[in-house]
A and B are shown apart, each in its own frame.
Chain A
Amino acid sequence: MKQVYAVPKALQPRATHYCPGCTHGIAHKLVAEAIDELGVRDRTVGVAPVGCAVFAYDYFDCDFQQASHGRAPAVATGIRRALPDAVVFAYQGDGDLASIGAAEIVHAAMRGERITVIFINNAIYGMTGGQMAPTTLVGQKTTTSPAGRKLEHAGSPIRIAEMLSTIPGAAYVARVALSSPAHVARAKRAIRKAFDTQLAGAGFSLVECLSTCPTNWGMAPIEAMTWLEENMIPYYPLGEFRTPEGGASNG
């Protein structure tokens, strides 16, 4: 029989610690598929964040460094500069990247650092138990916004893809969703393109993945995917915000 779908080889054959239905696992597979397709597993160095993906190094079958909270782009920069022919990617959540690590991601993009960042936006702090994130939607209840996020108190959720798309060094910036087969197919193409951008030496690349957190959202997995599509996509529009070939249409 012909194999239609295979588990990517760049993943370790072990179960993850992620909750049932959490879309981190889908993002992991898409990254691993890109590494497999490009045949770069043996020169890839990944950088794990602080957050639910802290143990990402246990799941990818490539060299890894584990970074302190928010500093994955800086760690990836150190690796990138030390190893010019490596493929370097950082995998970060929204507390890590959009809150405590806001400076590092902006400046990595500004330098046009030849790294690929996979940014998981699930609108909440997962690992610490469901606190408000910079990406939490207005009105969304979390353990630190029990009455729902209030605009006048906490401001608007941060749109990272749009913000980074104003930076010339950011060669490829896209936002995708991991909530349906069609969206996952587009996410796969975007993640592959982000790695292609790095390998072409075009500059910094980032794919923001709208993701679910069934546990902390208090929803069943499919219910969470529906909630994502009905609530997150209207605020976080999908698409490519910068592309290497985009020229003047970028930003």
Chain B
Amino acid sequence: MAERKLFKGNEAVAEAAVRAGCRFFFGYPITPQNEIPEYMSRRLPEVGGVFLQAESEVAAINMVYGAAGAGVRVMTSSSSPGISLKQEGISYIAGAELPCLIVNMVRGGPGLGGIQPAQSDYFQAVKGGGHGDYHCIVFAPASVQEMVDLTMHAFDVAEKYRMPVMMLGDGVLGQMMEPVVFPDPAPRDLPTPDWATNGARDGRATRLINSIYIKPDDLLRHNHKLQAKFKQAQVDEVRCETVNTEDADIVLVAYGTSARVCRSAMDRARSEGLRVGLVRPITVSPFPYQVIADVARTARAFLAVEMSMGQMVEDVKLGALGAAPVHFYGTPGGIVPTAAAIVEEARKIAKAEVGK
């Protein structure tokens, strides 16, 4: 039985990546995720890996592109303004079908914003972010243990689909300390993929890592291929937790840090006689639309709770498709919502929707 250790979220992500076989990290400092590159700068040399502090986020993501194209497990991490800078590279990585992990410990924006935790980059993470039609697979952990488990899973998913995978956290998740168990990594042979540009040895045909398709027909086919992969991920990779939704009148929908608060709010509301449930998307891309649709058949209303001005709420509405009203409560600017405020919102909605 693996030992439980107290780990800070950021360092837990880094250690999990190492245990998943990631040996290459390219990054650039930005608060609140600096523990990840700092940890990697110590840890990767111990296992024969490479940590390299790039000259910018732009350079870092392009180093990820090069290393991923060479066929190795590779990651980067950043926070909102830095992720904005990486978007061009992420688009190229998606276009060139390269697997990698991008950790995003979101802080408040827009612009330089603040350094406090936020969920205001949901659109950027799940709707593309860079140019062109593409999706990342985006995980939204809500605990340090879940960050560990999802990070170890993320590399497999990235390679299965040849897609960039994002770990969407925030300053709270990165900084909090919780006991975690690191699954013993099964001794795994990580073969070099058969598309990697690692030198055309032994007479094999040359390979190309590329995102340019200058003939419209080719680009059309390429886009259909990218979309087909994501459609498959929508079938096979959606993860979602539901709590107390069976009898709930009001169902909270939240991910990550705000989902932790919603769980407390749900318990408090139940103790006060309000039938409140919780849907917690674990993958926010692909989004658990079907879970929302199923819950919409029995719930009176949804309340999406986000540390933003309302972004995921649009996906909740897409899932509900009018079968139940979708309300929103948000705390932008680096503010974490309080359970009391959420309960108050739920009570108001119950009065309006259930009282009818």
**Chain A residues with a Cβ under 8 A of chain B:** 41-45, 47, 54, 57, 61-68, 71, 74-83, 86, 103-104, 106-107
Contact = CB atoms under 8 A, between A and B. Distances in A.
Contacts of B206: 61-64
A33 to B, nearest CB: 18
A159 to B, nearest CB: 21
Interface in B47-91: 50, 52, 54-56, 58-60, 62-72, 74, 88-89
A67 B198 contact: no
Nearest to B63: A78
25 contacts: A42-B199, A45-B197, A63-B199, A64-B206, A65-B208, A66-B96, A66-B209, A66-B210, A66-B211, A67-B92, A71-B58, A74-B59, A78-B62, A78-B66, A78-B67, A78-B69, A79-B69, A79-B197, A82-B50, A83-B199, A86-B70, A86-B199, A103-B55, A104-B59, A107-B55
B65 A75 contact: yes
B141 to A, nearest CB: 26
Dominant secondary structure of chain A at its interface with chain B: helix
A71 B65 CA distance: 10
A78 B75 CA distance: 11
Contact of B62 (A61, A83, A86, A104): A104
Interface string B186-228: 0000000000011111100011111110000000000000000
Contacts of A62: 199-200, 206
A42 B58 contact: no
Nearest to B59: A74
Contact of B64 (A68, A78, A103): A78
Interface string B312-334: 00000000000000000000000
A137 B45 CA distance: 47
B193 to A, nearest CB: 12
B299 to A, nearest CB: 45
Given A54-B212, A57-B208, A65 B66 contact: yes
B309 to A, nearest CB: 31
B26 interface: yes
A25 to B, nearest CB: 19
B199 A82 contact: no
A65 to B, nearest CB: 4
A58 to B, nearest CB: 9
A79 B197 CA distance: 9
Contacts of A75: 62-63, 65-66, 69
Instruction: Report, nearest first, the 3 A-B pairs whose CB atoms are least far apart.
Output: A78-B66, A74-B62, A78-B67
Nearest to A71: B62
B62 A81 contact: no
Contacts of A71: 58-59, 62, 65, 89
B66 A64 contact: no
B302 interface: no
Contact of A82 (B62, B71, B202, B209): B71
A68 B61 CA distance: 11
A77 B55 CA distance: 12
Given A65-B208, A78-B66, A43 B201 contact: yes
A57 B21 CA distance: 30
B24 interface: yes
Given A42-B201, A78-B74, 20 more contacts: A41-B200, A42-B200, A47-B66, A54-B212, A61-B200, A64-B209, A65-B66, A66-B96, A66-B212, A71-B65, A75-B65, A76-B66, A78-B65, A78-B69, A78-B70, A81-B67, A82-B66, A83-B70, A86-B70, A104-B62
A95 to B, nearest CB: 16
Contacts of A66: 96, 208-212
Contacts of B210: 57, 64-66
A103 B56 contact: yes
Nearest to A63: B197
A243 B141 CA distance: 52
A65 B212 contact: no
A77 B208 contact: no
A103 B62 CA distance: 13
A136 to B, nearest CB: 24
Contacts of B65: 65, 67-68, 71, 74-75, 78
A181 B67 CA distance: 38
Most chain A beta-carbon contacts within 10 A, residue among B63, B92, B201, B202: B63
B199 A81 contact: no
Nearest to B23: A82
A110 to B, nearest CB: 8
Contact of A68 (B67, B92, B202): B92
A107 B56 CA distance: 10
A74 B92 contact: no
A102 to B, nearest CB: 11
Contact of A78 (B26, B88, B96, B208): B26
